Structure 1
Amino acid sequence: MSWGIDARRTLASPAPAPEGVRVDLSSDLSVGDRIKVLRESRGMSRPTLAQLCGRGPDWLKKIETGERELRNHELLLRLAAALQVHDLSVITGNDDGPAATVPLGRLNHPGMPAIWAAVMQRTMAPKAPRPFDPAILQGRVDQSWNLWHTSQHNRTEVGALLPDLIRDAEAAVRALDGADRRAALVALSDVYRLTGQATAYVAPAELAWVVADRALTAAQDADQPAAIAAAAWNMGNILRETAYPEEALRVVNEAADLIRPHLDSAPDDWRGIYGALQLHAAVTAARDGREGDAWRYWGNGDQVAKSLPASYVHPSTVFGRANVDFHEISVATDLRQARKAIGLADDVDPDTMPSIERRARLWVEVARGHLQRGESTAALKVMQMAHEIGAETVSYTPSARHVAAELWRTAPRAMRREAGQLAEKVGVAVN
């Protein structure tokens, strides 16, 4: 039997933005108008600029026409860098607050070159002569996923393991046959999913798409439904973060349809990945402003969690009771229901979540809710907690960087020093 999902997508390589073009902008222009004027003055098409920001042309069209508000500081920085604007106020029209210098370059991590080489320089050599045990390979992958969720410096520590894991998993697939090869393909898919997580927001767009596609292809070649669903969850992340919400929902819903008929007799991890797909869809719908769909998907995930043992946690997505509760806060925040999000956070015990990475992101969501309510002091204190829990999670997650940047720019005088210290730690304070 063949289990399949069609989720492949090809994106053209973006062209570099011309430098040195100067333009006079009227003070009464909106942010969208300013972006459009700057883009056109540099001779850039809308698809080109959108792709340089890791987004789709429809997203940029909505920004330029004022249909969608641009509140994400990280995306503002990406737009400014792509347009070769050195001062963010040129785009925002806001000269208040600290100097808003734009760092012209992508957010990066020192582990990326070695990971890039392992992924993009895949050998075409014949089968490796040495034997491989797929169970040992899968054990190494599982340990790496556990490290991802339990380390405060997960990108650095997991990133150091990935190059060898990628090469060994690729070699195992070439060397093995039959059931052993299918097991190795599942491990390879898991490796590429982990690579996608560990390089999110720091990898060039082409690597993110290659990794997501290879994870899905390996899972389909293994003909293993749970692995396909997990790879679809990963592909959905890429689609959502590049402003393709409809495609993201299509992929995760197709994956859910694939395994739903088998859930009654399936292992717990099949239900776990099914629940993770529901939570993914809930956040995707919430970010797209689809309140009814968002809460419906979240309710589906809630029902799955109730059907599993209370202590159950999916090994890679950490789906379980705690993650469902955490996602309820995320959905409320994305729907700008700040009062509800903060009220829910009051009833959550963060220690029930075994993932440090997910706990740090929880407090980022709570900080976002406080900012929506204009509660800067509470937002700062919560963000300090988030950074203490997972420093690299905060430093490399756009929503966290956005909160830190907002606090740095807008905090009251009495909080200015603390907000500046946080911004410096996160890496958003530039002079």
Structure 2
Amino acid sequence: MDNPDELTTGERIRVLRESRGMSRPVLAGLCGRGPDWLKKIESGERELRSHTLLLQLAAALQISDLSVITGTDAGGTAQPVPLGRLSHPGMPAIWSAVMTRTLASPAAWAVDPTVLQGRADQTWRLWHTSNRNRTEVGALLPSLIRDGEHAARSLDGEQRRAALVALSDIYRLTGQATAYVAPAELAWVVADRALSAAQDADQPAAIAASAWNMGNILRETSYPEEALRVVQEAADLIRPHLDGAPDDWRGIYGALQLHAAVTAAREGSEGDAWRYWGKGDQVAKSLPAAYVHPSTVFGRANVDFHAVSVLTDLKKSQKALGTADDLDPDVMPSVERRARLWVEVARGHLHRGDRTAALHVMQKAHEIGAETVAFTPSARVVAADLWRNSPRSMRAETSLLAKAVGVATVG
């Protein structure tokens, strides 16, 4: 379709939508938004800064090259739009374990909830320490899911409550390990089961942790308002129980605050972002200096890491990079979180137009957590940008990075 260069992004979206005979409510709904939001985008009243939403619009319009919407001159190089989700060989077995839950009476074999919780805790540790965390954790999840379901249905009393807490942890981990590779229906099923198990157990910390997980799903599927509501309700639920509670209860409360901070920052709400971050900072100060929450890795280091994320999402690249310079990434025990910090730093360098620095940092991120980088959309966006737009002298290195991350480099 002929789309003149002088058109704005919003005007291009309107022309493309109308050429396909799509109504504004239909296209907005495919992106998880309302028609008023799309009307403001098309009219230029609201700037579309989210790369994720740009990709969603392009996919909904069945545009395979993002530059058709943005009008960006990429030197004739296509800006490919992923029209499907990423794939991972471990997904079929996980899908089977989640979606073929039997309705028959449980078989007569015992599952000790204490042992089950220990296995869940060990698998969470593997998630945070392995360079190939999706593959290694994914191999363990099917049996964990089945054993957790069996325990929750075959036990009663306090043992059943303990099994439900373990099952909630298992489903939360399933959500983490299958993020961006699971079909949408599985992502929602997993998040809902984690929350339902925690609510059945009537354990505030488990409910709060499951809400943190649900908030991740909501935020990544472009429901930021709902994500904030869920984590705020969870924080309100657990707050009255914090006096004299175990450290991990305060840890999940702090993690909820950091989640809200990033969600607000992505929406451009700077004041709210720093208000939530400040609450998380206060929680970290109340905990032992070396404390780290076992699944969310909330603690002093993660609060500091989130300051970089908030600044990056607020497009304050210079300050984000300065803040990152003052951090010691090695104090963070999570390989996954360290790799994502370096991705945030790379995004900051890219915002400033320093592709040499962005490439160096992305190579470091990939070295630390190869699968974290390969299966994180923001990291893939950086890798694709470097490959498309870096000078010829960097093309060999950016091509190697793009191939390692799994970004197409044809053409």
Q: Which of the five TM-score ranges fits, normalised by the shorter chain?
A: over 0.9
- Report what 1:56 is aligned to: 33
Other-structure match for 2:192? 213
Match of 1:20 in 2: none
CA deviation profile, 1:322-371 (whole Å, cap 9, x unmatched) = 10110011111111111111111111001100000000000011111111
Aligned pairs (5 A) from 1:29-428: 29-46=7-24, 48-50=26-28, 52=30, 55-57=32-34, 60-71=38-49, 73=51, 75-97=53-75, 98-428=77-407
- Report SS of the residue matched to 1:265: coil
Task: State the alpha-carbon separation in 2 of the partners of residues 89 and 363 from structure 1.
Answer: 27
* Partner Cα distance (1:248, 1:185) in 2: 24
**Aligned equivalents of 2:89 and 2:25: distance in 1?**
30
Q: CA 1:217 to 1:129, structure 2 compared with 1: closer, same or farther past 3 Å?
A: same
Task: Choose between structure 1 and 2 for higher RCO, CA contacts under 8 A separated by at least 6 residues.
Answer: 1
Q: Deviations over 1:96-137 (max 9, x none)?
A: 332334454322212112211211221111133111100011
Alignment CA distance shift 1:132-1:360 (3 Å): same
Q: CA deviation at 1:47?
A: 5.2
- Name the SS of the counterpart of 2:293 in structure 1: coil
**Contact 2:10 2:44 (C-alpha < 8 Å) held by counterparts:** yes
Does the 8 Å CA contact 1:229/1:256 hold for their aligned counterparts?
yes
- Higher mean displacement: 35-44 or 148-157: 35-44
Q: Quick check: 159-168 or 65-74, which moved more?
A: 65-74
Moved more, 206-215 or 217-226: 206-215
Letter in 2 for 1:376: R
Give deviations 1:258-297, integer Å, cap 9, x for gaps: 1112212100000100110111111111111111111111
| 8 Å contact kept, 1:128–1:174 | no
CA contact (8 A) 1:286 1:331 kept: yes
Asked if structure 2 preserves the Cα contact closer than 8 Å seen for 1:102 and 1:430, the reply is no
Task: Quote how far apart the aligned CAs of 1:68 are.
Answer: 4.5
- The percentage of counterpart residues that share the same residue type is 77
Structure 1 residues without counterparts, runs of 5 or longer: 1-22
Q: Taking structure 2 as the reference length, what is the TM-score of the superposition?
A: 0.94
Q: Deviations over 1:34-58 (max 9, x none)?
A: 23332333334445545655x4346
2:292 counterpart SS class: coil
State the secondary structure of the residue aligned to 1:217. Answer: helix
Deviation per CA, 1:1-23: give whole Å up to 9, x if none.
xxxxxxxxxxxxxxxxxxxxxx3
- CA separation of 1:185/1:47 partners in 2, compared to 1, >3 Å: closer, same or farther? farther
Give the Å deviation of 1:66.
3.5
Count the aligned residue pairs.
408
Deviations 1:64-95 (A, max 9, x none): 44345445555544443433333333223235
Q: Which runs of 5+ in 2 are unaligned?
A: none
For 1:183 and 1:372, locate their aligned partners in 2 and report how far apart those are by CA, in whole Å: 47
2-side partners of 1:260 and 1:133: how far apart?
31
Q: Could you tell me whether the CA contact under 8 Å between 2:74 and 2:389 is conserved in 1?
A: no
TM-score (normalizing by structure 1): 0.90
Cα gap change, 1:411/1:191 in structure 2, threshold over 3 Å: closer, same or farther? Answer: same
